[in-house]
Amino acid sequence: MLGAAGGALAAPVTLTPEEMRAAAAQALEVHDDRLALTLAEALLLRDPRDGFALIIRSRAARNLGDNATARRAARAAWDLAQSDGDRYAAALVMAQALSSDGHRTRAQLWLRRAAQFAPDDRSAALIARDFRYLRGRNPWSTQLRFGVTPSSNINNGSKSDTMVIGGLPFALSGGAQALSGLEISYGASTRYSRDLSEGLTLHVGGAFEGKAYRLSDAARRKAPGLGASDLAYQAVELSFGATIRGTRPASPLDATLRLGRNFYGGAHLADYAAAELAKTVTLGRHDQLRFSLAAEEQWRKDRAVRSSTALTGRVDWRTRIGNSGLLQLSLGLRDTESDSAIIAHSAQIAGLDYRFLKPVFGAYLGLSAAYESRDYDQSLFGARPRRDDKLMLGASVFLPEYDYYGFAPEIGLSVVTNRSNEAIYETEDIGLTLGFRSAF
């Protein structure tokens, strides 16, 4: 017995369940949440497994500030869902209830579930919009990484099988030569940020990454004494930092301190501490300059003589070229001091990165190039100091139309060559990577 959906009292009427569902939906549309909740409760007394009524209960309870009831109703609707449409609706109201209750990270996970079952492109776009909104207001930011790369040089070995010392040739062991195989990379990072004032934000975070390998049959024949576990790499890191915006929020000053430890072949390789100071300057609507200065101290545990201190200065220019793409140019200098001849060097760095903003047959393309010239303080094998020239070329294809729970595949091709006046350090690597990143 009820009145119109707007809540105006009228003569008593009898409604069928379908009419009650329609009235409940109309009550939500006109923001009469108490009436919508009353109708939903009546439907659930008739049938506790009425998924539509559970969705109405969740939405109405959330609008009335009862987020606990909203979450319970959404969970029940999810558990009862039989179709993609039911799963989409249940996941969406669960995300809304969690967001209203301040659980933004969990809300983002439920939005990914909703995206998986979105009925059309418009619904998927709205979820992506809501996801970005939540991400911008969530103090926690978490990223996951995974990639598989068939590579011609998984051990960064020499492309030559001999080296010359004092004019005499010496054969390199199989393990020192380039070995083909498969690299499996994985990692995760998380950061918590908190605004202390309008112009100051502090953040703390942690990260880990790892690389595992599988040697090809040819590599195992070339280096029978080398196992894939001998090449495995892991790293863990803690970070602390601050962002100072002052009177120009678009041109912040960032300060970061990182403390880390890495492992190679199952053994403790090094500990490190790194600090960076970076200033972003916004120039007009489409241009930014970023100036950074970084210092890193590394304490090697395999051989103490290889410990080092590195200073790096860098400038990046980012610009938007119309509606077609984003361009970044980078220039940098690095000086590394060490007691080891294979570590101490100075370097000049240049980079170019271009990202297309418009898809080509549904795919977003990216191109990159980087060059690094290294001048070493001395040589281990000759009278002339060692000099390396490293060139890196890359291309990537991102396929957002093939997403799964909001993650879509990205295919990358990379070519890395290192030329050196000492043949043992000449390397070449061609890799094809399959990875995944967020489509939002």
The predicted-structure confidence for 371-413, as pLDDT tens digits, reads as follows 999 999 888 776 689 999 999 999 999 999 898 998 999 999 9
Q: Would the pLDDT of 322 be above 90?
A: no
Number of structural domains (the chain) is 2
For residue range 61-80, what is the model confidence (pLDDT) as tens digits? 999 999 999 999 999 999 99
- Separation of alpha carbons 336 and 118, rounded Å: 52
- Separation of alpha carbons 116 and 407, rounded Å: 10
Full-model pTM: 0.83
Quote the domain boundaries for residue 105: 17-136
- Give the CATH number, domain containing residue 280: 2.40.160.40
Q: Report the half-sphere exposure of 110 (CA within 13 A, side-chain side).
A: 23
- Classify residue 362: in a domain, yes or no: yes
Quick one: pLDDT at residue 440?
Answer: 83
For residue range 75-111, what is the model confidence (pLDDT) as tens digits? 999 999 999 999 999 999 999 999 999 999 999 999 9
SS3 422: coil
> What are 238's strand-pairing partners?
206, 259
Secondary structure E strands in 322-406:
325-338, 345-356, 364-376, 387-398
Quick one: pLDDT at residue 15?
Answer: 79
Quick one: pLDDT at residue 382?
Answer: 66
Q: Which of 81, 107, 136 is the last residue of a domain?
A: 136
SS3 198: coil
What average pLDDT score do residues 164-190 get?
A: 82
Q: Are residues 69 and 172 in the same domain?
A: no
Q: Are residues 97 and 148 in the same domain?
A: no
